[in-house]
Amino acid sequence: MRSSWQWDQQGADWPLRAHSRFVLRGHLRWHLQHLKPDADASQARPASRIVLLHGTFSSTHSFRKLAPQLAKHHEVLMPDLPGHGWTSGARAADMAMQRMALALIDLLDASGFYPAVFIGHSAGAALGIRAAMAAPTLMQRMLSLNGALLPLPGLLGQVFAPAAQVLDRVPGLAQFTAWRSRHSDWVDRLLAGTGSKLSAEDVSWYRRLASDPEHVKAVVEMMARWDLSGFASLLPSFHAPIDLVGASRDTTVPAAEIKRAALLLPQARCHVLRDLGHLAHEEAPQQVAEWILNALEQPWTSQNV
């Protein structure tokens, strides 16, 4: 249980709450949301299992409009990542990519939810790939939505992790940041900088997350321990087919970076969504869902689409 949030209070109106459950694995208390197709729904092909993995600073709420679209045809499981949203008990060391991947593997193995299609957004895409590298039998297929797979280019990339490590050691930073989220518009400005045009409701969920010091603390710890340089060096050894989806207005992970990542992956194909930003799946959930469902219906071939 989070010390600053209560599920029956701050989570009383949480998106897709009826599909939520909590699973204890070791010291982590995972929050999961599990959606299934209607029993009488006609299926052209057997339903797949889909694992949706959100990115840094987010939670399952990010998929609240996409997941029900996918669940019309497939079984969907989405966890809050360690320290994020309603998943509690994470320690600082748990926020490193390898540790988080191992925790995800343990969760899926214990849940029997495999093999599955991994669909990761932003940092969630990197996490999905890392988990599949460690436990290939858990993954059926990989789709990356605006995936943050490479270190930031130039000087910014060189100073980002060290700066996050310094911030991680600042006493009271998480509490101050959470307080600021209730008294300023920094969350609104941060989201506007992604290139996405979000509704007031979309923004309100991120603002609520940012008001929780434990969530903020986990985000900073994750940024301080997320080694994308080391991860990028592993991409040439990932031989599974992967779809990399970018967005033309994405200013967080520009489409050019998606294409650059594709060059490192032996079996990758790219697709760029027009006039959408980093949170394309929140801006245009129907469009993104249709693309995903169509991709899953088609045999995977190596040419770009």
Confidence at 114, pLDDT banded by 50, 70, 90: very high
- Output the pLDDT for position 155: 41
Question: Average pLDDT for residues 38-52, to the nearest whole number?
Answer: 77
Judged against a pLDDT cut of 50, whether residue 305 lies above it is answered with no
Alpha carbons 269 and 141: distance in angstroms, whole number = 13
Is the CB of residue 121 less than 8 Å from the CB of residue 145? yes
Per-residue pLDDT tens digits for 25-39: 999 999 999 999 977
Per-residue pLDDT tens digits for 161-207: 555 565 556 667 777 778 787 878 999 999 999 999 999 999 999 99
Per-residue pLDDT tens digits for 116-130: 999 999 999 999 999
Is the CB of residue 294 less than 8 Å from the CB of residue 45? no
**Residue 207, CA distances (Å) to 190, 253, 287 in order:** 10, 22, 25
In the chain, the domains with their CATH numbers are: 17-151+228-297 (3.40.50.1820)
- Output the pLDDT for position 304: 43
Confidence at 299, pLDDT banded by 50, 70, 90: confident
Question: Average pLDDT for residues 214-218, to the nearest whole number?
Answer: 92
Q: How many residues does the chain have?
A: 305
